[in-house]
Structure 1
Amino acid sequence: MTDANPWILDIPPLQGLGLMRLTDDGWGDEDRDPGVLIRTAIEAGVTLLDTAEMYGNEATVGRALGSHRDEVTLCSKFGVYWGESGRFDDWSVKADPQTVRSAIDGTLERLGVDYLDVYYLHHRSEDTPIEDTVTAMAELKSAGKIRHLGLSNITVDDIRRAHAVHPIAVVQQQWSLAHREAELFLPTLAELGIALVAHSPLGHGNLTGTHDTPLDVALAGVALNRGVTPGQVALAWVHHRGSHSGATVVPLPGTTSISHLRKNVEAAHLILNDSDIELLDAAL
């Protein structure tokens, strides 16, 4: 393993593949087989794979990855845990050093790998100082269990405090036409040499151009003119904005569909012109 930051010194991945919804239900399905999905992604240049302990599917991801471990940047997250009710809003954060040390061993065992390329704190904690969490994460790096430290769902102040303890390689935040709060992070990330992984660039599937809102009308109009789908336009917008942000940005659309994956890859090569960008921005 190398200490070189893969986000800065090497060529960043074309885009990432979010695996939050990957399940065992797709095996043998021609459009949703997890193993075929990951092989197709790798062949298309989508080499960043993202999961989390919270998703409950690390074992499925590991099985789907198979012998392709050395061909990908493998990422997982810790720190968010479901409550007993099963409700979507019933969860809590545990980011204390003991949790850091125990969580990584479970993740590595479920994935069937010896180390992670990036290990994220999944959500900031109100109880544990981020300095304590990052110190424990740095111990995992020293032990060879992770290559790089990442943060997700945090603040700019969290980033600076964490980075002062140990270099942070990547921050994961939501960024799409519908959610632009991540843009507030970009100057700090560019300054510190930290990459942004932009999750949910399709607005959790809501940027479809089928609703009667100014943004959807604009998406539908650009898509019609370019001969693509509104979702591809929305993803291409994140690629465009990222390339002009001053920071390294890797969009992270999530899908379990091979056909959707291929459309997402096509969107990475869709070049929006100035009038497209002006129309979309004006719709906001």
Structure 2
Amino acid sequence: MEEKVPRVKLGSQGLHVSKQGLGCMGMSFLYGPPKPESDMIKLIHHALNSGVTFLDTSDNYGPHTNEILIGKALKGVAREKVQVATKFGITTNDGNTEIRGDPQYVRSACEASLNRLGIDYIDLYYAHRIDTRVPIEVTMGELKKLVEEGKIKYVGLSEASASTIRRAHAVHPLTAIQNEWSLWSRDLEDEIVATCRQQLLFPELGIGIVAYSPLGRGFFSSGVQLIHSLPEGDVRKNLPRFQIENIETNKAVFDRVTEMAARKGCTPSRLALAWVHHRGDDVCPIPGTTQITNLNQNIGALSVKLTQQDMAELESYVSADVVKGERHALMASTWIASETPPLSSWKAD
């Protein structure tokens, strides 16, 4: 198949990825029961053949099973044809979740991910969440060693504060920050985006932005219909924005986006995803899906052109005072905009 999705530079350290990636979490984790392995491998192969070569996973998805799935899908695929991003840091034992960023854990997690994925190096390795007990300089110091050893190529952080990003970047250049970013999840615009872009005078220091859940966890694909069709075990059933007390207000948001999409000659999902693409050349959204038809729909967002007036109109529909409910069921437990203690406080074992 002719390549549909162009490659772009992510950050300024040398990583090139498809302009739109594929979030793989829902294939194995959180969004209902794991999907049939053979179907997901076909989906991944279809993505690669369509030019979507930037695959996003984590050791926490399953846990572990999503990395194993991707490893199976990549057998026989030329390594240079795909960019694999995975993450470390969220551990679950006996139902208790812990965030770890200590050097010993960072190294062991990386080596375990390499083994599950069946690859010699990880293109982009993120701290999935920030360990607030460990100075970010310590975590980054171990990641820098892994880069020097060739086990990872580039480093990223997810849901870190602006100050944590700056401190991390001083130890070893960051290639990307991964945060939730969609029409109705825009808190990163307060500080994070500016922090990633403040090095515009020094392009070699720029940090790319990877937007997860760019379709509002599926809401901008099908609106309220999504909520009624979620299977048992789907974590989205617990999201505040999908609760009865909020859904009527948020349904009106989707209706307005749908009306504008009709005027633009596209679907609501393509319009919402196009909005993320139009936020900058340094932004790469990674919408997830388990259906080839939805993947094709998402690729179509790249052909939707929006003017500044279109952008402003869309944003007026989903302003913070209009959308009801937090973006996550337990905001504190998502470790959003996490800070870490100063390096002077660290005492290595």
Check whether TM > 0.5. yes
Change (3 A) 1:274 1:193: closer
Q: Runs of 4+ in structure 1 displaced over 6 angstroms? A: none
- The answer as to whether partners of 2:21 and 2:286 remain within 8 angstroms in 1 is yes
Residue among 84, 101, 104 paired with 1:74: 84
Matched residues in 1 for 2:258 and 2:280: separation? 22
Aligned partner of 2:108 in structure 1 is: 102
Matched residues in 2 for 1:99 and 1:43: separation? 35
Can you list the C-alpha shifts for 1:177-216, whole angstroms capped at 9, x where unaligned?
A: 0101222312221224111111110011122463544421
Aligned partner of 1:19 in structure 2 is: 24
- The answer as to whether partners of 1:150 and 1:170 remain within 8 angstroms in 2 is yes
Change (3 A) 1:15 1:217: same
Can you list the C-alpha shifts for 1:254-279, whole angstroms capped at 9, x where unaligned?
A: 11211111100001221123443232
Can you list the C-alpha shifts for 1:96-153, whole angstroms capped at 9, x where unaligned?
A: 0000111111100000111101111110111111100000111111111001111111
Q: How does 1:108-187 map to 2 (within 5 A)?
A: 108-183=114-189, 184-187=191-194
1:188 aligns with 2:226: no
Higher mean Cα deviation, 271-280 or 147-156?
271-280
Aligned partner of 2:342 in structure 1 is: none
2:223 is paired with a residue whose SS is coil
1:238 aligns with 2:276: yes
1:21 is paired with a residue whose SS is helix
Once the two structures are TM-superposed, the CA of residue 6 in structure 1 deviates from its matched residue by 5.6
Amino acid at match of 1:261: L
Matched residues in 1 for 2:177 and 2:310: separation? 28
Aligned partner of 2:72 in structure 1 is: 63
TM-score normalised by length of structure 2: 0.72
Aligned partner of 1:263 in structure 2 is: 297
Identify unmatched segments of 5+ residues in structure 1. Answer: none
Once the two structures are TM-superposed, the CA of residue 27 in structure 1 deviates from its matched residue by 3.6
Higher relative contact order (CA 8 A, sep 6+): 2
TM-score normalised by length of structure 1: 0.88
2:210 is paired with a residue whose SS is strand
1:242 is paired with a residue whose SS is coil
Once the two structures are TM-superposed, the CA of residue 91 in structure 1 deviates from its matched residue by 1.8
Between the aligned residues of both structures, percent identity stands at 40
- The answer as to whether partners of 1:135 and 1:165 remain within 8 angstroms in 2 is yes
Can you list the C-alpha shifts for 1:7-33, whole angstroms capped at 9, x where unaligned?
A: 4356542211011122464244xxxx2
Can you list the C-alpha shifts for 1:12-57, whole angstroms capped at 9, x where unaligned?
A: 42211011122464244xxxx2222122212222111110000022
2:132 is paired with a residue whose SS is coil
Over aligned residue pairs, what C-alpha RMSD do you find?
A: 1.8
Amino acid at match of 2:192: F
